Amino acid sequence: MAEISDVYFVDGVRTPFGRAGEKGMYWNTRADDLAVKATIGLMERNDAVPADRIDDVAIAATSQTGDQGLTLGRSVAILAGLPNTVPGLAVDRMCAGAMTSVTTMGASIGFGMYDFAIAGGVEHMGHHPIGSNADPNPRFVAEKMVDPAALDMGVTAERIFDRFPHLTKVRSDRFGMLSQHKVQAAYDAGKLQPDLVPVAIKGADGAWGLATEDEGRRPQTTMEDLAGLKTPFRPHGRVTAGTSSPLTDGATMSLLAGSGAVKEFGLSPKMKMVSFAFAGVQPEIMGIGPIPSTEKALKKAGLTIADIGLFELNEAFAIQVISLLDHFGIADDDPRVNQWGGAIAVGHPLAATGVRLMIQLAAQFAERPDVRYGLTAMCVGLGQGGSVIWENPFYDGKKRK
């Protein structure tokens, strides 16, 4: 009979993230090939785990069509050379796709059904712009279930400003600027590169190259630069390109395992899953979604926000992150929050981002044995939030000087 098991994040990798569109480095690269590259890189880095012991592969995408269709978990597993005995599935929870891949596979491991699973996500927003090929049911508007503007993520961000006037544009601009600076500092210190899987890319001229870093970073950003940007979602608004995550292509992948498998193969996991939760809010103000999901996850874990020593929060919009920090009484520039920057600088390939948050938290755990718990959280289109609380296996109980 299967036994309840702890769930471990053994490892995670990602492709460099590229700017979406014809000028982006992945314009001539298939979405599923990005996921394949990440999967191969993950398995090569964890060669102690036999490929035939993987019990399932869950890969998320928001637009499941074209080169992001055909049951990604199964098709990518085959393309990546995993044995035909390894099954797979596709997941969609918009921006929290990869996060949901992890929690779904984690739940299967925790219940004792799986020993190992691969969980991740991919989004090629150049090939599949957000909302493309979608056909929202007319009842949403006709029966006034959802304001039509709820389908425009930038408008929902503007509404956070409306609801919380003390969350100013200046605060948002500063957060966006610091994200750019922190990502560059992390690159300069070699923090992000170890978990990036290089990808061969073909340019418009037919020449081949290699993608090794996130494209589109703007480390020289200043407050003056941001103050002068247009507000595309509303005349005289407060959300700009400088405080929003850019359209992005990329893939992420993680390896999860249960207690027995970790012991059997002598693995050294990077994190242990403590709890997770998803929650719904009004679609018109979807950015506050991580607030109730985090409250639920904390309650399930028997913890408070004060127990969280590191935060990896997806920067869909600066104002969205600030709203969560403000709710929990955390300063915008608290050093525990996104210490290596976030999506405003590196990008947000929708369904892939959840695992990027986990990769960065895991790397920080390794450097911070004084921190016991960390949080990965994100807002989700149509009014949702997702949160996962993790425990640091390197925790030594000693306070950092």
User: Rounded to whole angstroms, how far apart are CA atoms 187 and 180?
Assistant: 11
CA distances from 373 to 88, 238, 272, 278, 362 (A): 31, 34, 9, 19, 11
Which of these, 8, 2, 79, lies nearest to 269 by C-alpha position?
Answer: 8
95 labelled catalytic: yes
Is the separation of the CB atoms in 114 and 54 below 8 Å?
no
Check 124, 127, 128, 348 and give the catalytic one: 348
User: Rounded to whole angstroms, how far apart are CA atoms 101 and 354?
Assistant: 9
* DSSP codes of every residue in 124-186: ETTTS-TTTT----THHHHTTSS-GGGG-HHHHHHHHHHH-TTS-HHHHHHHHHHHHHHHHHH
Read off the amino acid at residue 283: P
166 labelled catalytic: no
Contacts of 113-116 with CB under 8 Å at 24 or more apart are 113/2, 113/55, 114/55, 114/56, 114/258, 115/53, 115/55, 115/257, 115/258, 115/260, 115/261, 115/264, 116/49, 116/53, 116/54, 116/55, 116/255, 116/256, 116/257, 116/258, 116/261
User: Rounded to whole angstroms, how far apart are CA atoms 359 and 197?
Assistant: 13
Which residues carry out catalysis? 95, 348, 379
